[in-house]
Chain A
């Protein structure tokens, strides 16, 4: 029959699953994918900038955007710290397969908590106390935003994806409410709220966020790898029934893990306000980093150490692409930098395919 005949015919190539890839091969494939993405990005840049010299200029601008001057390098560490902190926050939850897509709202809630304290107490009591209150309020708000969906999930089995997403909107509207209240309905953003922030350590500006987040990174690394908690949440992620069978209180683990997740998001929120030279609050303060963090966490395979580099790479791409489009006066610059970041991720994720599968071509003599 015709169908059978077709089946007999060998395809041009077929895919074989591979489990035995050597580490050096893995890295060659990954590095190659980054190089391919960079070449493509440079090519697109030259086309958009209508200047063939821009192809080389692209790589120069990428570097200049993040490390061109001392200030840009400092700002880079600060941007790195915020994204890193949120990525760390979502990691325990994702390892537990609790799909927390509410990091955006949890961070914003934390930032709002800090801003509320700063608005009402800033300049009225001594600064260290203000900062301490801001810190406590931010962590509390971040925790609250994470624990509410966790409790609903643990007790009533509600869908955490939708719940955490909706909590984002609640945080946004609550922020709008306060800004509206404080500006008597005349603005959507607050201006610079003035003092009440940690800025710089030992005279080095902008560095405080990176230092604090570096400490948190070590803590999370140890927590996930060497603590019973870290093991328990992994088991709950693998199979809730197994977890129950070996005597893990699943509800407790879910709530506890989300509590941790929320507290770290709250910390990121605190740093956004209390770690800024010009603290402020508005609904766009987190600027999508709560969602980018999920990607970062996933690409790092939930490893805090790999995350350090992945986060740095993402921030590098974002600021670099922005710098390039500014220097070459590309009109739709945000669209351009989104394309570049998207391109890199697409190719890097696609390269994972080659790590898992081998392509076998049909042999010529078999014809």
Chain B
């Protein structure tokens, strides 16, 4: 039968292809021990010289590429900041071009190229997966500036008009953790302020086991630990940035396991609303949930992108170079805490202010290596992190001066250690 012959040929091709793949796939694994590669100071501009043609603020055109639209809290945070920043600089609506619902594929490249052709002087994209597509457009339009949030390639690629940006959100999470610690202490602390092991247990709903999420929950945990020293935390992943059911389910599972307080890093109201129902205090992310969770909302931390947008547009207008990598901080008002909730413990504001002042003057470090251990031991300067390249291998030494320097060698987080006291208990949901 003809059909059989065709099938046989196709199968032979498939087998050959698999054989070829397995031959090529053996890549050598080697990690060289040495110094951290040079990296631009992501907290300072390298030069204030005019290198490009300045553009009058009334003529400038700014393009924004968003992964979703305002229905996603992640993108809404960027959209609101874009509106605020362009309004503050006096730009009119036809100077600001939005491209919403741009997936992480050819569509991003097409949108970026199209915006460049439409006369944009600077183009911004908000999602991690947009990066390589935006980079492709940056190479084709060298006179247009391209800025990308959360990305990691700007320094390695060395394309003059391509830039990364993020913020030291771990500091915000740490401060939110202090508010959580104060609440635990108020609810369960004895006369000396000590909390029993059973009550010093909290939970965290994370999206993916990525450095961004791990860095976030570790800093939150360390914030709690600075108030309640014997605290332990369970983490559950939803494997999605937005999955309301899985986030609710995850929070409920953590509560059933005995968590006395929950925080999360995912974009829906799943975890906060589960907490409100169960009467468990919640530390939110990316905005206050006071209105919908009046009895359980404690505080929330978020990245405010407005300062970066203003910086980026100003530099283009002045014809000055944009930093290769830009890291917003508490000082630049990029890392913010929202209002303290009605359910928060007394003295929360004071405790946060003290810690904040110490973070700002350098006497307190979030990832102080004397404050945590990994597998029972303090981490050393031999500890490695994946900061560079796209090979997903550790290549840098982030520990020095007694701290793990997060968002120091690049703005995007790279802390990916699971420290003692934190247990990952698994996944809920899947992607369907």
B374 in the interface, Cβ–Cβ < 8 Å?
A: no
In the complex, whether B70 has a CB less than 8 A from a CB of chain A is: yes
* B97 partner residues in chain A, CB cutoff 8 A: 326
Does B17 sit within 8 A of A, measured CB to CB? yes
Complex contact A333–B101 (CB within 8 A): yes
A285: which of B105, B210, B392 is its contact (CB, 8 Å)?
Answer: B105
A169 touches B132 (CB 8 A): no
Bound-state Cα–Cα, A241 to B268, Å: 53
Stretch at the interface among B19-27, B180-188, B259-267, B401-409: B19-27
List, in ascending order, chain A residues with CB within 8 A of B71's CB.
331-332, 334-335
Kindly list chain A residues whose C-beta atoms are within 8 Å of the C-beta of B351: none
B360 within 8 A of A: no
Chain B, 192-211, CB within 8 A of any chain A CB: 208-211
Whether B106 pairs with A191 at a CB distance below 8 angstroms is no
Distance from B280 Cβ to chain A, minimum over Cβ atoms (Å): 29
Q: Which of A143, A172, A322, A326 contacts B432 (CB 8 A)?
A: A172
Say yes or no: A124 contacts B113, CB within 8 Å.
no
Residues of A within 8 A of B135 (CB): 192
Interface residue stretch chosen among A97-105, A178-186, A302-310:
A178-186
**Contact present for B101 and A322 (CB under 8 Å):** yes
Chain A residues near B104 (CB-CB < 8 A): 189, 280, 282
Contact status B109-A277, CB under 8 Å: yes
Question: How far, in whole Å, are A329 and B70 apart by their CA atoms in the complex?
Answer: 10
A117-B106 in contact given A169-B432, A176-B431, A326-B100 (Cβ < 8 Å): no
What's the minimum C-beta distance from B80 to chain A, rounded to whole angstroms?
10
Chain B, 86-117, contact with A by CB distance < 8 Å: what is the 0/1 string? Answer: 00000001001111110111100110011001
Interface size on B, residues (CB 8 A): 48
Complex: A207 Cα to B115 Cα, angstroms:
20
A75 touches B118 (CB 8 A): no
Would B118 and A69 count as touching, CB distance under 8 A?
yes
- CB pair A334 B69 closer than 8 Å: yes
**A187 adjacent to chain B (CB < 8 Å):** yes
Q: CB < 8 Å: which of B99, B133, B208 contacts A278?
A: B133
A71/B105 in contact, CB under 8 A: no
Q: Select from chain B the residue with minimum beta-carbon distance to A322.
A: B101
Q: Does B136 contact A (CB under 8 A)?
A: yes
Task: Report whether A124 and B24 are in contact in the complex, using a CB–CB cutoff of 8 Å.
Answer: yes
- Does A133 reach chain B (CB closer than 8 Å)? yes
Q: Which of A144-184 contact B (CB under 8 A)?
A: 169, 172-173, 176, 183-184
How far is B430's CA from A229's CA once the two chains are assembled, in angstroms? 42
- Which chain A positions have C-beta within 8 A of B129? 187-189, 191, 282
Name the distance in Å between B194's Cβ and chain A's nearest Cβ.
39
**What residue in chain A is nearest B105 (Cβ atoms)?**
A280
Q: Is A28 at the interface (CB under 8 A from chain B)?
A: no
Closest to B25 in A: A120
**CB nearest neighbor in B for A74:** B110
B13: interface (CB < 8 Å)? yes
Contact indicator B69/A72 (Cβ below 8 Å): no
Say how far A367's CB is from chain B's closest CB, in angstroms: 55
Smallest CB separation, B136 vs chain A (Å): 5
Q: Evaluate contact between B109 and A278: CB separation under 8 angstroms.
A: yes
* Cross-chain contact A172 with B431 (CB below 8 angstroms): yes
| Residues in chain A near residue B56, CB distance under 8 A | none
A107 at the interface (CB under 8 A from B): no
> Are B114 and A331 in contact (CB-based, < 8 A)?
no
Q: Are B100 and A333 in contact (CB under 8 A)?
A: yes
Please tell me if A136 contacts chain B, counting CB pairs below 8 Å. yes
Complex partner residue of A326 from B98, B105, B109, B136, CB under 8 angstroms: B98
CA–CA, A333 and B284, complex, Å: 26
Which of A169, A186, A192 has a CB less than 8 Å from the CB of B392? A186
Of all chain B residues, the one with the shortest Cβ separation from A137 is B17
Residues 4-24 of A, flagged 1 when their CB comes within 8 A of B and 0 if not, give: 000000000000000000000
A-B contact pairs, 9 of them (CB 8 A): A71-B114, A116-B21, A120-B20, A137-B17, A176-B431, A280-B105, A333-B69, A333-B101, A334-B68
The 6 closest A-B pairs by CB, nearest first: A191-B132, A331-B70, A192-B132, A184-B392, A189-B129, A120-B21
